[in-house]
Amino acid sequence: MALDELLRALQRGEPGAEQHLFRQLRVELLPFFAKRVEASDVDDLTQQTLEIVALELQGFGSTGPASFRSFVFVIAHNRLMNHQKAKRRRPARTRTPLDVWWVRHEWSPEECTTMHERSTLFRAAMAAIKTRYRQALESRLRDEDPRVLAEAEGIDVGTVRTRVHRAIAMVSAEIEARRRTEREGTPT
């Protein structure tokens, strides 16, 4: 059954029409993405496209034969372009010798104490900065795309990047101030 027919069945309220429509969309989208991206990304891009189609379906108005198919594949093409841009911006991380050392290294008690002190210092510095800067830096530390936070906050992507930059400066200054205070308070 063609996509336009499945869409009309859904609009008429036929039972199971939505499942049939999205199953057929998946069947058509999987090969589209499989030809263009790595196998590990195919399912994610297909699912993202289906989610957008589901959200935009209410506002879709058919303008002729195959217009729904065109609508779906424009969304798929846009997801593909965004995916490829993201890949170019952020190349895949490779394991460094430090990563391997981190996994295999057995920590001495002194190293554990040092890591704990650094972690406590960092958490205290993060708690001391303003929430909007902390959220931006936490988002960056989770390796999230800045657009995610920008959309959630209703701000420009450039503003998110500025907040991350300022948050790093604030955390660094806070850590340095706390270290200076500890040194001044410690007898020599």
d(CA 61, CA 11): 11
How far is 32 from 42, CA to CA, in rounded Å? 9
Extract the tokens encoding 20: 């049939």
Full set of structural domains in the chain with CATH:
3-89 (1.10.1740.10), 109-185 (1.10.10.10)
Q: What is the value of pTM for the model shown?
A: 0.49
Contacts within 8 Å (CB) and 24+ apart, 29-38: 29/72, 29/76, 32/73, 32/76, 33/76, 33/80, 36/80, 37/80, 37/83, 37/84
Measured in degrees and rounded to the nearest 5, phi and psi for residue 150 equal -60, -45
pLDDT tens track of the chain, all 188 residues? Answer: 688 888 888 888 899 889 999 999 999 999 999 999 999 899 999 999 999 998 888 888 878 777 888 999 999 999 999 998 888 886 656 655 555 555 555 667 888 788 888 888 888 888 999 989 999 998 888 888 999 899 988 999 999 999 999 999 999 999 899 888 877 766 65
Please name the helix (run of DSSP H) or strand (run of DSSP E) that holds residue 99, with its range, or none. helix 97-104
